């Protein structure tokens, strides 16, 4: 799958086939793409915590009010970034790379917010994330049980030339 196709076709998946495991090689390929994301001043402030243990995923899902489906996904990847001037931008870039890489490998994924949520500290504590790092996102990954097809705004609706 080429990059443009992956970007056009990727969708947020919230229902997973819990019987189909994701391989270590697939997970490493996805995280490898995350670590190659654009980063301000090449700081690369990110760390990726891969959670495959069902009990830990269930605990994350119980805390993350926006991500109860994390319990059903075979993998959850937490993106944590060392606090700094551009940690959020860098972490979001890495997260987007994870999503597109998962889709390119025929896996579903969904971004669950971290940084601005009240549960961010509790999830960070659960995962042993040091205090000088911020939980930017949680990414559920697995084979999709269903693939949503939400309506997207058309290009003419969002494209402006020279001025808004």
In a domain, 156, yes or no: no
Question: Per the structure, how many domains does the chain have?
Answer: 1
In a domain, 78, yes or no: yes
Bridge partners of residue 111, in order along the sequence: 139
Give the structural domain span for 23.
Answer: 3-148
In a domain, 31, yes or no: yes
- Whole-model pTM: value is 0.96
In a domain, 63, yes or no: yes
C-alpha dihedral, 133 to 51 to 137 to 159, nearest 10°? 140
- Mean pLDDT value across residues 83-103: 98
Residue where the block lists tokens 């090689």: 25
18 pLDDT tier (thresholds 50, 70, 90): confident
For residue 148, pLDDT over 90 is answered with no
In a domain, 122, yes or no: yes
Cβ contact 102:153 at 8 Å: no
Coil, strand or helix: which one is 145?
coil
Residue-wise pLDDT tens digits, 94-139 = 999 999 999 999 999 999 999 999 999 999 999 999 999 999 999 9
In a domain, 110, yes or no: yes
Instruction: Work out the burial of residue 66: count CB atoms within 10 Å of its CB; fewer than 13 is exposed, 13-18 middle, 19 or more buried.
Output: middle
In a domain, 114, yes or no: yes
Contacts of residue 51, defined as CB under 8 A and 6 or more positions apart, other chains included, come to 57, 60, 75, 76, 77, 78, 127
Cβ contact 76:70 at 8 Å: yes
Q: For residue 76, give both structure tokens.
A: 């959850």
In angstroms, rounded to a whole number, what is the distance separating the alpha carbons of residues 80 and 150? Answer: 29
CATH code of the domain covering residue 19: 3.40.109.10
């Amino acid at each position: 799958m080429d990059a443009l196709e992956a970007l056009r076709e990727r969708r947020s998946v919230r229902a997973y086939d819990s019987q189909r495991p994701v391989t270590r090689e697939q997970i490493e390929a996805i995280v490898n793409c995350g670590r190659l994301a654009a980063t301000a001043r090449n700081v690369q402030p990110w760390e990726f915590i891969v959670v495959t243990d069902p009990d830990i995923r269930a605990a994350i899902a119980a805390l993350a009010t926006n991500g109860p489906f994390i319990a059903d996904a075979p993998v959850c990847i937490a993106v944590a970034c060392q606090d700094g001037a551009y940690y959020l931008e860098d972490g979001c870039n890495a997260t987007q790379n994870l999503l597109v890489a998962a889709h390119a490998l025929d896996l579903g994924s969904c971004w669950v917010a971290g940084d601005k949520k009240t549960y961010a500290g509790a999830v960070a504590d659960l995962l042993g994330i040091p205090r000088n790092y911020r939980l930017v996102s949680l990414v559920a990954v697995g084979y999709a049980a269903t693939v949503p097809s939400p309506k997207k705004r058309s290009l003419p609706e969002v494209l402006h030339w020279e001025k808004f």
